[in-house]
């Protein structure tokens, strides 16, 4: 969750990408307090049309390594 005023600060060009939620987190964390919740707040469905599923297994692995390194 984020306040509308904070979301308005995100450059509009960031919404042109498939990973908008990731960009939002980066921009919001630069100027605003963030927290990691222990509860599961959302679920991603895995389908052959999904953003994750259409990546090759090698790309998925690289993304997981980057996320682990960044502790995302």
Each domain of the chain, given as residue ranges in start order, spans 1-39, 42-72
Ordered alpha helix ranges (H), 1-72: 4-8, 20-31, 57-70
Which residue is associated with the tokens 């060009």?
13
> What pLDDT shows up at residue 71?
73
Give the model's confidence band at 1: pLDDT under 50 very low, under 70 low, under 90 confident, else very high.
Answer: low
Decide: helix, strand or coil at residue 25.
Answer: helix
> What pLDDT shows up at residue 19?
72
The whole-number average pLDDT for the span 35-55 is 76
The whole-number average pLDDT for the span 28-53 is 78
Q: Are 47 and 56 in contact (CB under 8 A)?
A: no
Comparing CA positions, the residue from 25, 23, 6 lying closest to residue 14 is 23
> What pLDDT shows up at residue 72?
57
């Amino acid at each position: 969750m984020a306040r509308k005023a904070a979301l308005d600060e995100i450059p509009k060009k960031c919404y042109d990408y498939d990973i908008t939620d990731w960009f939002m987190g980066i921009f919001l964390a630069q100027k605003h307090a963030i927290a990691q919740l222990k509860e599961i707040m959302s679920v991603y469905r895995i389908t052959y049309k999904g953003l994750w599923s259409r990546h090759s297994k090698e790309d998925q692995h690289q993304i997981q390594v980057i996320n682990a390194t960044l502790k995302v």
